[in-house]
Chain A
Amino acid sequence: MSAGHADHADTIPVRVVAIDEVTPQIRRFTLEPIAGGELPAFSGGSHIIVVMRGAQRVYRNPYSLMSSPHDLGNYQISVLRVDPSRGGSAHMHEQVRVGSEIEIAHPVNLFALAKLARKHLLLAGGIGITPFMAQLHDLRAGNVPYELHYATRSPAHGAYCGLLSSTEPSCVSLYHDSNKHFIDIEGLLGRQPLGTHVYVCGPAGMITRVLDTAHALGWPDSHVHYEKFAAPPTGDAFDATLLRSGIEVHVQPDQSLLEAIEAAGVDAPYLCRGGVCGFCRTEVVSLDGELVHNDHFLSDEEKASGKVIMPCVSRAHCRKLVLDL
């Protein structure tokens, strides 16, 4: 549609060539380009959007690339089956088979390693291990020290514990809740040398603990990185009008505003679909209720102003929302 935005019509058709049952809840999908050749280059920490055409609606879920950035013959992603699923993860687990053809969007990296870091401290919780799997390919080849601390519910839930402990014994520490063995976040963050960057990917509670602890110990924001993938929050249904096109959309309780806009055939801008990158930021023209902000991008002042919204995760508590789209 409008120039300057990522062209979402430009997806890449890929074929699922392997599905591995990594744990009872996690499946790893290997995707090859249908056109043959290589997929676009990416750096560790990148994610792709997988476009899933379900019976009722289209889902676009972000998944971290976990395969090596040095092997572009295929991409690998891991999908955790969320219960209850909004539809995306269930679709990947139930409908997608070896041989299925799906579409993906080009990789985007919002969780890259800091190139000038003197040390990297990686903290993974559960499925949050995936972006680090790709980054480890670069870290192993470099000479910057790093540590990976990987916590899972139990050894059986540890998707890639075996692989990591065999390839990275000196740099990897594993933790299992079932053994009452937890990452000592305060201890770790309190003894890192100057120039360390910390990266955290995992459940929301873990990310919050790391960010709060880092802040309390004097870590500057520039050295703290996090990535959170969560389904868009649910809420009340509401209606929205897109001012420029005059299109009216109805947002279901379990659907995001962005998804409803896309379902109406409008190619709205987005990158992360997780409320962090700011790319989908949209001006609010009028509103007869209040906005429910779920993003981590807008400032408190912007949120309070009611003039701007991030449709990928935020909603409205109203009858009518008019957007400058």
Chain B
Amino acid sequence: MLITGIRSKPVYAPLQPDLAGRYHVMVGHGVGAAPLARLLGELISAAPAALAHTRIWYVRDPASPQSNADAFRAAHVAELRTFDRVDPLLADLTAAMDQALMGTRLYVAGPESFMGLIMRIAHEFNLAGDEVRAEECGTMARRVHCIHCRAIIEGVRTNIVECGCKRWLVVRDHYSRRLAAYMGVMVDAEAPGERPDVKEVFL
């Protein structure tokens, strides 16, 4: 019904270095460390000099055992900035992008909801599809925007979810790049109390 057949859901691909770029900005969250380390290795072997123009922003995820930035530290990139929470990284990255020059390529690896937040920054700076590469890894839990009270619910794993406004929302595939969130629409508006069973679907 409201869930499927919607094409605004982003599609991601494994990261590869774009050697046409002059500056490389890599951004990762938790398990995103692994694809970024692989990407960094490929970049170094293809263009060792690019290391001096490579900067990394990374958020540690205490819930994820593979979450560490050691691989980046060993590589001696131009700059490595690590964070324990997402919000300060977003502010720091935004400030850096404001100073960045044309010729920059942005690479993102992490859970889908994190990538949405980074892609929103990319759009703010008018980065086009040929300047950004993203690889989804980790949880598919969704950031959901309640279209009724406009609250954001983080980390939604279920087909329906109760919002803080007490409405039960069905989580659609309709994705807003501006909000970096999926749309949540009241599920029992037509027939109050008639709700499907709660199921874990976004793992």
- Contacting residues, chain A, for B20 (C-beta < 8 A): 215, 218, 220
- Contacting residues, chain A, for B125 (C-beta < 8 A): 118, 194-195
Cβ–Cβ contact B130 & A190, under 8 A: no
A65 to B152: give the CA distance in the assembly, Å: 48
B105 nearest in chain A by CB position = A218
Q: Chain B at the A interface: mostly helix, strand, loop or mixed?
A: loop
The reply on A192 being an interface residue by CB < 8 A is: yes
Query: Which of B104, B126, B130 is within 8 Å of A118, CB to CB?
Result: B126
A196 to B97: give the CA distance in the assembly, Å: 13
- Contacting residues, chain A, for B102 (C-beta < 8 A): 189, 192-194, 196, 217-219, 223
Q: Chain A at the B interface: mostly helix, strand, loop or mixed?
A: loop
Encoded as 1 (CB less than 8 Å from any A CB) or 0, chain B from 114 to 135 comes to 0000000000011111110000
The reply on A35 being an interface residue by CB < 8 A is: no
- Contacting residues, chain B, for A190 (C-beta < 8 A): 101, 103
Which 7 pairs, one residue from A and one from B, show the smallest C-beta to C-beta distance? Answer: A218-B103, A218-B22, A195-B126, A222-B128, A220-B130, A192-B102, A194-B100
A–B pairs, 15, beta carbons within 8 Å: A114-B126, A118-B126, A190-B101, A194-B100, A194-B104, A194-B125, A195-B126, A195-B127, A218-B20, A218-B104, A218-B105, A220-B128, A221-B130, A222-B130, A222-B131
How many of B's residues come within 8 Å of A, CB to CB? 20
- Contacting residues, chain A, for B105 (C-beta < 8 A): 218
B102 nearest in chain A by CB position = A192
> B: which residues have CB within 8 A of A?
20-23, 97-105, 125-131
Query: Which of A116, A215, A217, A221 is within 8 Å of B126, CB to CB?
Result: A116
Within 8 A of B (CB), among A69-124: 114, 116-118
A117 to B126: give the CA distance in the assembly, Å: 6
A174 to B77: give the CA distance in the assembly, Å: 41
- Contacting residues, chain B, for A192 (C-beta < 8 A): 101-102
The reply on A191 being an interface residue by CB < 8 A is: yes
Q: How far is the CB of A192 from chain B (nearest CB, A)?
A: 4
Encoded as 1 (CB less than 8 Å from any B CB) or 0, chain A from 191 to 212 comes to 1111110000000000000000
A197 nearest in chain B by CB position = B126
A191 nearest in chain B by CB position = B101
